[in-house]
């Protein structure tokens, strides 16, 4: 078994060891040592990084036989039996020590203040969480727990480790029974918490710096607490403070007034969006009435009013200054009444086609649209009475051709030409 130097001295940054094995694991060189200060991923805590004889260590894994495997970024120049120097990435290690020690304190605070035992723990690269057996936690209770945890930090309580046997466990007020056998490692926060743990920890609670709960997430019958400790909490505070300061300057209010100012802006934005939607709908109605009027005038000029009354009116237009949403609204207004087929198109970087018909009109708009879009290399679909698609660049000429081909096919179909069941080149 590899001797675990980090258990004796978690503040050890440099060490020497002898190489006991060299191997390739999943395409990467790896090494085991007779002793190591590198912590392997376990107990919710991530592995250490650093170097061995100048070669970067990119993963540390605990094997079933008790050996610790160090995965390297490149093949090393040392051999089995060589004595080599190791160096821990201290900033990463100390960050993990702060988070892990802070988690112990926070879990103990939840048990003391709220009577909630921690169900599971996760300590990630950016965020740490504890899961609690409660469907809902009041904000005031969470704040009291956070205050209790930080009071333990202000008290600078010593953190010690002990190795005990199973027979000695009944005399130790553990928060949770251990899942290991044999000698059991206990991490004690003096007078505050006792937990079975193999991780690395700071020497006293003062070195945690601070504990900040930044999110409370409901997860069914449980609640997940997201928190930061130490340097992470400081970075989070700086970022939040910078954002609050920038918003305060931009809105010309104090930081204390920001919630009310943001709420006011949100309500104004809601009202503006509604006003814009109403205006766009009125514009679509106006466009639809204009198109209908123009179509009727054209039919009258062609002396085909009788035919127009007997068959649906086909309105085929390219609207260069409208987008997909506006095309849809115009088409719906056009086909709200009887006897209309609307074949509308809009060119641009995200060109759009929108085909629709009145309930009493004939034609399969979905089929016509798919055939028209195929010529543009675009996709879309819909029902027999309404279909829309596009999203690809297309020039006004390309959209005009697509609409014209569909109009010709539609007119042939309405005239009883059964050979024209879709869009055809004419």
Taking only the tens place, the pLDDT of each residue in 142-176 is 999 999 999 999 999 999 999 998 888 888 999 88
Look up the CATH number of domain 94-250. Answer: 3.30.980.10
The answer to whether the CB of 380 falls within 8 A of the CB of 365 is no
What confidence category does residue 183 fall into, taking pLDDT thresholds of 50, 70 and 90? confident
Nearest to 211 by CA among 99, 123, 294, 118: 99
Residue 222 confidence (pLDDT): 97
CA distance 93 to 192: 24
Record: fold of 272-414: Diaminopimelate Epimerase; Chain A, domain 1 (3.10.310)
Higher pLDDT, 296 or 327: 327
- Label residue 403 exposed, middle or buried (CB < 10 Å: 0-12, 13-18, 19+): buried
Residue 169 confidence (pLDDT): 87
Look at the chain and count its residues. 426
Q: At which residue do the structure tokens 């009475």 appear?
A: 385
Domains 3-88 and 272-414 are alike in CATH topology:
no
Q: Which helix (H) or strand (E) holds 308?
A: helix 305-310
The answer to whether the CB of 355 falls within 8 A of the CB of 381 is no
Look up the CATH number of domain 3-88. Answer: 2.40.30.130
Write out pLDDT tens, residues 20-40. 999 999 899 999 999 999 999
Count CB neighbours of 77 within 10 A: 10
Residue 291 confidence (pLDDT): 86
Question: Mean of the per-residue pLDDT values for the chain?
Answer: 90
- Domain definitions of the chain by residue range: 3-88, 94-250, 272-414
Write out pLDDT tens, residues 240-249. 999 999 999 9
Residue 302 confidence (pLDDT): 59
Nearest to 407 by CA among 388, 398, 420: 420
């Amino acid at each position: 078994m590899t001797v675990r130097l980090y258990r004796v001295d978690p503040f050890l940054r440099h060490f020497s060891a002898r190489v006991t094995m060299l191997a390739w694991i999943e395409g990467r060189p790896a090494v085991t040592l007779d002793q190591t200060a590198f912590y392997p991923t376990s107990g919710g805590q991530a592995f250490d990084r650093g170097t061995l004889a100048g070669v970067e260590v990119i993963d540390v894994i605990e094997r079933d036989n008790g050996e610790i495997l160090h995965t390297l970024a490149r093949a090393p120049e040392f051999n089995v039996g060589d004595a080599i120097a190791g160096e821990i990435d201290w900033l990463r290690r100390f960050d993990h020590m702060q988070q892990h020690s802070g988690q112990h304190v926070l879990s103990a605070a939840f048990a003391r203040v709220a009577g909630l035992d921690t169900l599971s723990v996760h300590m990630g690269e950016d965020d740490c969480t504890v899961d609690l057996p409660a469907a809902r936690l009041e904000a005031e209770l969470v704040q009291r727990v956070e205050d209790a945890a930080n009071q333990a930090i202000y008290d600078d309580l010593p953190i010690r480790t002990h190795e005990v046997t199973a027979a000695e466990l009944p005399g130790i007020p553990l928060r949770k029974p251990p899942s290991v056998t044999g000698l059991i490692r206990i991490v004690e926060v003096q007078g505050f918490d006792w937990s079975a743990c193999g991780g690395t920890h700071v020497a006293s609670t003062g070195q945690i710096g601070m504990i900040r709960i930044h999110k409370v997430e409901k997860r069914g019958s449980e609640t997940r607490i997201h928190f930061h400790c130490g340097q992470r909490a400081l970075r989070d505070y700086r970022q939040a403070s910078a954002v609050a300061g920038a918003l305060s300057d931009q809105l010309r209010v104090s930081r204390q007034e920001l919630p009310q100012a943001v709420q006011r802006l949100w309500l104004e934005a809601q009202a503006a969006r509604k006003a814009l939607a109403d205006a766009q709908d009125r514009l679509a109605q106006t466009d639809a009435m204009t198109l209908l009027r123009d179509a009727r005038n054209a039919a009258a000029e062609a002396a085909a009013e009788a035919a127009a009354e007997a068959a649906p009116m086909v309105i085929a237009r390219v609207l260069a200054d409208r987008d997909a949403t506006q095309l849809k609204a115009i088409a719906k207004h056009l086909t709200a009444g009887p006897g209309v087929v609307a074949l509308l198109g809009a060119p641009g970087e995200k060109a759009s086609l929108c085909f629709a018909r009145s309930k009493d009109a004939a034609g399969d708009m979905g089929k016509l649209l798919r055939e028209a879009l195929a010529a543009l290399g675009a996709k879309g679909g819909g029902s027999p009475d309404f279909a829309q698609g596009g999203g690809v660049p297309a020039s006004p000429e390309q959209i005009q051709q697509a609409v014209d081909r569909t109009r010709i096919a539609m007119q042939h179909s309405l005239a009883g030409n059964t050979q024209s069941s879709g869009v055809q080149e004419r």
